[in-house]
Amino acid sequence: MNLSAASAKPSKKYRHPLEKVGKTLVFIGLPLTAIGAIMVSDADALYYNCVNGDCEGDPRGGFGVVFLSHGIGLSITGLALWSTGSNKTKARRSQVQ
């Protein structure tokens, strides 16, 4: 009995790797965005600078801006990858059937 790859049906659980990576990025990015937004909203200043132990600004604001910007970047990238991967998954499923 010879089973070729073309005759074998892929399982219905197949997901394109882009879709998996996109979901992961979104699920990491959204909480980062929320945490960053909370930190920024409570901050007195949106910067934090330390030179030789002399610090100025608000660390909550400084790190909140970093979390917020990284969270937004991860979420947008994740949504694009998730969408592309989902389309590729649908295309592969329709080719096999």
pLDDT tens digit sequence for 33-65: 999 999 999 888 888 888 988 989 888 999 999
pLDDT band at 23 (very low <50, low <70, confident <90, very high): very high
pLDDT at res. 47? 86
Written as one letter, the residue type at 88 is K
The SS3 assignment for 52 reads: coil
Residue 85 phi, psi dihedral angles, 5° rounding? -65, -35
pLDDT at res. 21? 95
Q: Please tell me which residue, 4 or 65, carries the higher pLDDT value.
A: 65
* Distance, CA of 58 to CA of 60 (rounded, Å): 5
Once rounded to an integer, what is the mean pLDDT over residues 70-95? Answer: 92
Provide the CA 80 distance to its chain's centre, in angstroms: 10
pLDDT at res. 76? 97
Which helix (H) or strand (E) segment holds residue 4: the answer is none
Contact 40, 68 (CB under 8 A): yes
Mean pLDDT across the chain, nearest whole number? 87
Q: Whole-structure pTM over 0.85, yes or no?
A: no
Q: Please tell me which residue, 11 or 78, carries the higher pLDDT value.
A: 78
**Percent helix / strand / coil, the chain, rounded to 5:** 65, 10, 25
Q: Residues 6 or more apart from 79 whose CB is under 8 A from it?
A: 22, 26
